[in-house]
């Protein structure tokens, strides 16, 4: 004999109480993975930017918009080796 059906339930609509726990666990896991990826990405970017001596020298330029000050900043800027890493092997996708 078949079990009596609740009039509010349709056939095939069984209660799924375990589904919400799975969804919450999945969301938390994804959040932890994304947070870890962002942390390591930022740490790697900070490490790469912090080691460049040319970027450190930019802060020593004057803030004046006078032509003589701009010319002095240009003369003090070292442009030797600006293209040191511009080789075709650095632009390949392999």
At residue 81, does pLDDT exceed 80? no
Task: Return d(Cα 59, Cα 70) in angstroms, integer.
Answer: 14
Q: Classify residue 51 by its DSSP letter.
A: T
Q: List the structure tokens of 74.
A: 């240009």
* Cβ-Cβ contacts under 8 Å for 70 (sequence gap 6 or more): 64
On whether residue 90 sits in a domain, the answer given is: no
Residue 77: what are its φ and ψ, rounded to 5°?
-80, 130
* Cβ-Cβ contacts under 8 Å for 64 (sequence gap 6 or more): 70
pLDDT tens digit sequence for 28-80? 999 999 999 999 988 887 776 655 665 666 667 777 788 988 888 888 777 77
On whether residue 29 sits in a domain, the answer given is: yes
pTM above 0.75, yes or no: no
pLDDT confidence of residue 36: 94
Supply the range of the domain harboring residue 29: 18-49
On whether residue 9 sits in a domain, the answer given is: no
- Residues composing the chain: 94
pLDDT confidence of residue 72: 86
Domain count for the chain: 1
């Amino acid at each position: 004999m078949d079990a009596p059906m609740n009039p509010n339930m349709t056939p095939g609509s069984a209660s799924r109480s375990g589904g919400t726990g799975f969804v919450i666990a999945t969301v938390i896991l994804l959040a932890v993975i994304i947070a870890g990826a962002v942390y390591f990405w930022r740490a790697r970017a900070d490490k790469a930017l912090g080691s460049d001596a040319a970027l450190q020298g930019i802060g020593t330029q004057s803030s004046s918009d006078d032509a003589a000050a701009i010319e002095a900043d240009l003369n003090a800027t070292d442009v030797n080796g600006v293209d040191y890493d511009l080789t075709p092997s650095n632009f390949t996708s392999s």
